[in-house]
Amino acid sequence: MSELGRTLAPPATKGHVSVARLSQHWYVACQSQELGSHPIARTIIGTPLVLFRDDKRQAGALLDRCPHRNVPLSLGRVSRAGHLECAYHGWQFDGGGTCRLVPGLIEESSRERRAPAFRVRERDGLVWVYATPDVEPRSEPFQLPLSNARGYVTVQRRVQAEATLHATVENALDVPHTAFLHRGLFRTTKTEAEKNVITAIVRRSADRVEAEYLGEPLPTGAVVRLLSPSGGTVQHWDRFILPSVAQVEYRLGTENHFLVTALCTPETDFVTRLYAVVSFRLRVPAALVKPLIEPLALRIFNQDAAILKRQSDTIREFGGEQFMSTEIDVLGPDIWRLLKHAERGDPQPEELVAERRVTLRV
Ligand code: FES
Ligand SMILES: [Fe+2]
C-alpha cells in the first residue's frame, strides 16, 4: 500500500473487516459524460482526487489538495490554457501535475512545484484512474467484452453501495439470496422439496474465480418470463476478476445472451461505486424490453443496496465481522482470498490453480 493510502484510509473498526486496499490497479473514476468543462472530485480507496479536462479535452487526475495551502483543487476551474487553476491563489497545474503558473511571482526559481498526478485512460465512455500517483502502471484497465459487438445493445448505469468492495462483489455474484431478498422478481421461493439440485463448477486462477452453474432450471420470476416465454435451457456463469470486476453471464435458450459487468470502485472502506455495463442480445427487440427490464433491475439493485447498508451498519456496530460460511457461499471466500493475496502482492501462478464442484438446491 502507498504511504498515501495508509494516512488517508485508517481502519474503520477494531475487529476484522474484509477490506483489502489494492492501490496498484485501475478503477473507474467517473463516466466520460460526467466530466465536462468543470473539475470534479472523486475518491478512490480513501484518496481524494480531482479530475478535469485540458484544452484538448484530455482527462487528467491529480490529488485533490493544492500543494500551496492545501485547499481542494476541485474548487477551482479550468483556465484558458487548459490548466487546473486553484480557487485560492490561482496556481495552475497541467494534467501531469506540474505547476505551470504562480500568479504574481516574478523571480522564478528552478524549484519544481507539483501535485501528485494519477495516470488516466478514457475508453468505452469511462474514465479510468490508476490508484497510485506518479508511477508508470504495469497493467491496463479491464477490457470490456461485447461493448462493440454486432447485434448487442450496451447500457451503462452508475449506482452506489454503502458496503465494502468484498461485500458488494459477493452480493453481486451470490445466488442463494436472490429467492429471498428479491422474492418474486428474479427467482421465487420454493420449498426445499420443490427445489432442483444443481452443480456449480468453481474455477480459480491467478486473477479470478468463476462459478459455472450446470442444470439450472429456468428461473420463474417476471424478468425471465419476458425473455424466454417458451422455457429453454439456462447457462449461467458468475465471475470475479481482480481487482474489482463482478461479472454475471446468462444464456437463455439460443437467442438470449446477457452479460452484466459491474466495474466496482472502492471509494472508501465502506462505500463502493458500481459502474454496471450491461451488454445483451435478445429474442425480442431490445427497445421493447429495455423499458420493462430497467425498473425491475433498479428495484433489484435497491434491495441489494438496502441490505448491504444494514450489513455494514451491523458490522460497524459490533466492531467487526463474524462470518459463518457454508459451501453454498460459492464465491465469497475465494474472492476474499484473491483480494488478500493481491494486496500482499503474493506471486500468483498463471495457470489454472483449482477446480471444485459444489452441489446446491435452487
Ligand atoms: S492554496 Fe492553491 S494556490 Fe494557494
Ligand atoms: Fe441481489
Q: What is the pLDDT along the chain (362 residues), one digit of tens a residue?
A: 344 444 444 444 578 999 999 999 999 999 999 999 999 999 999 999 999 999 999 999 999 999 999 999 999 999 999 999 999 999 999 999 999 999 999 877 778 899 999 999 999 999 999 999 999 999 999 999 987 888 898 999 999 999 999 999 999 999 999 989 998 876 566 777 777 888 999 999 999 999 999 988 776 666 666 677 766 778 999 999 999 999 999 998 878 899 999 999 999 999 999 999 999 998 888 888 788 778 888 899 999 999 999 999 999 999 999 999 999 999 999 999 999 999 998 776 666 678 999 998 88
> Quick one: 262 exposed, middle or buried, by C-beta within 10 A (0-12, 13-18, 19+)?
buried
Distance 66 CA to ligand 1 centre (A): 6
Q: Which three cell numbers stand for residue 359?
A: 452441489
Separation between Cα atoms, residue 255 and residue 248, nearest integer Å: 17
> Which ligand neighbours the alpha carbon of 308 most closely?
2
Distance 84 CA to ligand 2 centre (A): 41
Q: Up-side HSE of residue 75: CA atoms within 13 Å toward CB?
A: 11
Q: Which three cell numbers stand for residue 2?
A: 502507498
Distance 205 CA to ligand 2 centre (A): 25
Taking every pair of Cα atoms in the chain, the longest distance, rounded to a whole number of angstroms, is: 83
Q: Cis ω on the peptide bond leading into residue 243 (within 30° of 0)? A: yes
Q: Which amino acid residue places its CA nearest to atom 1 of ligand 1?
A: 69
Report the atom number in ligand 1 closest to the C-alpha of 86.
Answer: 2
